[in-house]
Amino acid sequence: VRKIGVMTSGGDSPGMNAAIRAVVRTCAYYHTDCVGYFRGYQGMINGESMDMNARSVRNIVNMGGTILQSARSKEFMTKEGRAKAAENLRENEVDAMILIGGDGTFRGGKAFSDEHGIPVIGVPGTIDNDIYGTHYTIGYDTALNTVVEAIDKIRDTASSHNRLFFVEVMGRDAGFIALNSGIGAGAEEILIPEEDLGLERLLDSLERSRRAGKTSSIVVVSEGDKIGKNVFELAEYVKKNLPDYDARVTVLGHIQRGGRPSCFDRVLASRLSVKAVELLLDGKKDLMVGMVNNEIESCSLDQALKGKHTINKDLLRISEILST
């Protein structure tokens, strides 16, 4: 492997820049050329790239977003699109790719490598933490800190006005953000996609809290919770059934994806990306790097795609105990 390409794809996440920097600097350290592709797979298809050296990534370790930008590419979902990307890489003499993104990115990467024999290594970058083969994904820790800070502020107004706040956080299929930020911010209830707690239970719990003398409450709701109502309908339902509560809704939205990466995410991105380059230089392919019990490991992209990273359900029990 003499020249390695790197790109970021899917939803951006804080720490992607630290990952790009680590890929580029590790290539420089091992005297291997490095080229960055813009806007994920779309840039590979369009041949939009930039030669990168150790100095091209100065002052980015602390920046949110991704200097290579990200995109979702419909064209790459087709065989023709992937063939165009392979042709561009060959023209540019790129021997292998490092793909920083989520599971969609890895699915595309596997198809690409199978069809064109260009080795790829995946680096998990997404705030959702929903990737098998790693305990943490790049951006998740920063997102948790952003959410907790936002809920702390909401708590101030909730307690000043005796209000009940429903705070919707990201996580369509996974409750990692809701569960951990909910415990960190001291939420009354946490609603996640993995567990349908039911409306009755929610009402009971809120009613019990009220009777126990709580005058304000925070309920953290994951985007994809299974209770069958969106967060606004949920607030209306509670207002109707528990008229003593003044229920409000806050949807945190995209602030969760932005901001300076935490130290944890920078170190994680650095460790994973150094390993990703070293695996390629070692002749390995079609793997994903991950952190398991604080060690950097790798598994096949197939395993990462087939497996499911499950939440720790004990956290639900802890949340219940602590909201007594």
Name which position in 37, 76, 140, 165 contacts ligand ATP (CB under 6 A): 76
Name which position in 1, 4, 5, 10 contacts ligand ATP (CB under 6 A): 10
Q: How would you write the chain as a 3-class SS string?
A: CCEEEEEECCCCCCCHHHHHHHHHHHHHHCCCEEEEECCCHHHHHHCCEEEECHHHHCCCCCCCCCCCCCCCCCHHHCHHHHHHHHHHHHHCCCCEEEEEECHHHHHHHHHHHHHHCCCEEEEEECCCCCCCCCCCCECHHHHHHHHHHHHHHHHHHHHHHCEEEEEEECCCCCCHHHHHHHHHCCCCEEEECCECCCHHHHHHHHHHHHHCCCCCEEEEEECCCCCCCCHHHHHHHHHHHCCCCEEEEEECHHHHHCCCCCHHHHHHHHHHHHHHHHHHHCCCCCEEEEEECCEEEEEEHHHHHHCCCCCCCHHHHHHHHHCC
Q: Per the annotation, does 11 bind a ligand? A: yes
Q: Per the annotation, does 248 bind a ligand? A: yes
- Nearest-approach distance from CB 207 to ligand ATP, in angstroms: 37
* Active-site residue (options: 12, 33, 128, 130): 128
The reply on whether position 83 binds ligand ATP by CB under 6 A is no
The reply on whether position 171 binds ligand ATP by CB under 6 A is no
- Nearest-approach distance from CB 257 to ligand ATP, in angstroms: 9
- Nearest-approach distance from CB 232 to ligand ATP, in angstroms: 24
Q: Per the annotation, does 188 bind a ligand? A: yes
Task: Tell me if 77 sits within 8 A of 51, measured CB to CB.
Answer: no
The reply on whether position 290 binds ligand ATP by CB under 6 A is no
Q: Per the annotation, does 58 bind a ligand? A: no
The reply on whether position 133 binds ligand ATP by CB under 6 A is no
Name which position in 36, 108, 261, 290 contacts ligand ATP (CB under 6 A): 108
Q: Kindly indicate which of the ranges 57-65, 102-110, 188-196, 273-281 contains the residues binding ligand ATP, using the contact rule CB under 6 A.
A: 102-110
Is residue 128 part of the annotated active site? The answer reads: yes
Q: Per the annotation, does 189 bind a ligand? A: no
Q: Kindly indicate which of the ranges 95-103, 228-236, 245-253, 302-310 contains the residues binding ligand ATP, using the contact rule CB under 6 A.
A: 95-103
- Known binding-site residues equal 11, 21-25, 72-73, 102-105, 126-128, 155, 163, 170-172, 186-188, 214-216, 223, 248, 254-257
Sites of contact with ligand ATP (CB under 6 A): 9-11, 41, 72-73, 76-77, 101-105, 107-108, 111, 126, 128
Active site residues: 128
